[in-house]
Chains A and B, each alone.
Chain A
């Protein structure tokens, strides 16, 4: 696989033993313990936010490889089981470690983004993803910049898709965000900025307008 592979899948953070295991999983999935591989990937996603942002890609590749090689979905099943387990305990996770919680949300959204079933997103993940985003829109989470940042990042990446799957929940979510922006106490200026930007982004049909680009992302020259 070489350097490009490592870059692409962002597996540098693993020790060399594990990197070898992952590479084998990608090339010859039936020869490895796929349940173990799934758990390794999930564990790492909860620790390493850089990895969790793109972990969907490596998961997708392993799933395709396994399907092609033996026509099975052992890896996918283990992955989803573990994902579901963490989802059930997400409140505890958040209490234990805010960082791990943020990593989890990033991970599950990335999985939703990448893992398709016959070119359709996984229906089973739609409501759980929404649930996570709704949690991030709660007052105690809005007061934390890292959580607001996570929330708007996910909406940028998968908001449009998510809305297609269930627009009513998206409406409800943005209702919360508007209220949060307007009424929430203890919101940092950065958080307010992030919220305003995502509200505009969605209002522009999930597209970046020139005006918004200029306002939020361009350097002030004067």
Chain B
């Protein structure tokens, strides 16, 4: 704790103006405006193609290390970290309450007395490791801090969401393996791309393909998300194929628009999956 707050060393290496490393790769910059791909030396090239400066895959969004606090001698980042932690704690309390209340009302309903009539009331083990929860929350924040997500929640209020069709934020409190979780996040973010705003290229084909891809994507996401909750490892190869392709196309659209690639490649993959 002392090292974190008293030494200005950390702050000296990074100018106050530059975004903390974990901010790189967002669709929107700190000022809320959508980042163009060229900004920040390709910082927007997050999960798709490049590797970040330190050689890690752009998709490796989770900062590993001795722990979140010891790396932050940057007040702003430390405060944001604290805020996220306290928010996560509030959320887990609320989630636990919700589970309890569900259990309680279910017990009330099945008051026949038979103790083995309950389907899944075995106490569910929740993820409580703070490091894990913080990491997951950061990943979720990345996905939510996008224009696509904004458009999505405006267009589809939660009550109108159709499970399996509309993307759903992965539940960070459930126990999942690291791979399973990362995969869920990937698929979720891919699905959100359906709500990306049209580019300024003015290509009206662009209007069509998001819809097509959307339908196809969410179909596959639907089937994948149910699977991923059980054994995503099996689907890893097929799962990882599709998202990359879709993302690649997304960025392709910024330059030349390749309709063939859009319509043919994903279709191929989808066929192999289903």
Does residue B90 face the partner (Cβ distance < 8 Å to A)?
yes
Q: How many Å lie between the Cα of A35 and that of B78 in the bound state?
A: 18
Q: How far is the CB of A177 from chain B (nearest CB, A)?
A: 21
Q: How far is the CB of A160 from chain B (nearest CB, A)?
A: 20
**Segment among B1-9, B131-139, B195-203, B205-213 that sits at the interface with chain A:** B1-9
| A131 proximity list for chain B (CB < 8 A) | 6
* Interface residue SS majority, chain B: helix
Does residue A80 face the partner (Cβ distance < 8 Å to B)?
yes
**Segment among B10-18, B49-57, B118-126 that sits at the interface with chain A:** B10-18
Q: How many Å lie between the Cα of A76 and that of B80 in the bound state?
A: 9
Question: Within B35-80, which residues are at the interface with A (CB < 8 Å)?
Answer: 72, 74-76, 78-80
A84 near B11 with CB under 8 A, answer yes
A125 near B86 with CB under 8 A, answer no
B2 near A127 with CB under 8 A, answer yes
| A70 proximity list for chain B (CB < 8 A) | 32
Chain A's closest residue to B5 (CB) is: A127
Q: How many Å lie between the Cα of A87 and that of B78 in the bound state?
A: 16
A124 near B75 with CB under 8 A, answer yes
User: Which of A35, A70, A76, A117 has its CB near the most chain B CB atoms (within 10 A)?
Assistant: A117
| A68 proximity list for chain B (CB < 8 A) | none
Complex interface bits, B69-112 against A, C-beta within 8 A gives 1, otherwise 0: 00010111011101100110010000000000000000000000
B16 near A74 with CB under 8 A, answer no
User: Which of B6, B30, B86 has its CB near the most chain A CB atoms (within 10 A)?
Assistant: B30
User: Which of B17, B75, B87 has its CB near the most chain A CB atoms (within 10 A)?
Assistant: B75
Partner of A117, one of B8, B11, B30, B83: B83
B32 near A30 with CB under 8 A, answer yes
User: Which of B11, B87, B90 has its CB near the most chain A CB atoms (within 10 A)?
Assistant: B11
Partner of A123, one of B6, B11, B31, B82: B82
Number of interface residues of B (CB under 8 A): 23
Q: How many Å lie between the Cα of A85 and that of B32 in the bound state?
A: 24
Partner of A126, one of B5, B12, B74: B5
| B12 proximity list for chain A (CB < 8 A) | 88
Q: How large is the interface on A (under 10, 10 to 19, 20 to 34, 35 or more residues)?
A: 20 to 34
User: Which of B17, B32, B76, B86 has its CB near the most chain A CB atoms (within 10 A)?
Assistant: B76
Q: How far is the CB of B32 from chain A (nearest CB, A)?
A: 6
Chain B's closest residue to A73 (CB) is: B80
A80 near B2 with CB under 8 A, answer no
| A10 proximity list for chain B (CB < 8 A) | none
Q: How many Å lie between the Cα of A83 and that of B17 in the bound state?
A: 12
B2 near A77 with CB under 8 A, answer no
| A124 proximity list for chain B (CB < 8 A) | 5, 72, 75, 78-79, 82
Partner of B79, one of A80, A85, A87, A88: A80
Partner of A74, one of B5, B32, B75, B82: B32
| A34 proximity list for chain B (CB < 8 A) | 31
B82 near A120 with CB under 8 A, answer yes
Complex interface bits, A60-89 against B, C-beta within 8 A gives 1, otherwise 0: 000000000010111011001111110110
A74 near B31 with CB under 8 A, answer yes
Q: How many Å lie between the Cα of A126 and that of B69 in the bound state?
A: 14
Q: How far is the CB of A140 from chain B (nearest CB, A)?
A: 21
Complex interface bits, A5-48 against B, C-beta within 8 A gives 1, otherwise 0: 00000000000000000000000001000110000000000000
Partner of B82, one of A35, A87, A117: A117
A83 near B75 with CB under 8 A, answer yes
B30 near A122 with CB under 8 A, answer no
| B32 proximity list for chain A (CB < 8 A) | 30, 70, 72, 74
| A81 proximity list for chain B (CB < 8 A) | 16-17, 74-76
| A127 proximity list for chain B (CB < 8 A) | 2, 5-6
Kindly list 14 other residue pairs between chains A and B, CB separation below 8 angstroms, not including A120-B86, A122-B79, A123-B5.
A80-B75, A80-B76, A81-B74, A81-B76, A83-B75, A84-B8, A84-B16, A84-B75, A84-B76, A88-B12, A120-B82, A122-B75, A124-B75, A127-B5
A residues apposed to B, CB below 8 Å? 30, 34-35, 70, 72-74, 76-77, 80-85, 87-88, 117-118, 120, 122-128, 131
Smallest CB-CB A-B distances: 10 pairs: A81-B16, A124-B78, A127-B5, A118-B86, A80-B76, A77-B76, A80-B75, A124-B75, A88-B8, A117-B83
18 A-B contact pairs sorted by A residue (CB < 8 Å): A30-B32, A34-B31, A73-B80, A76-B76, A80-B79, A81-B17, A81-B76, A82-B16, A84-B76, A88-B8, A117-B82, A118-B83, A120-B82, A122-B82, A123-B5, A123-B78, A124-B79, A125-B75
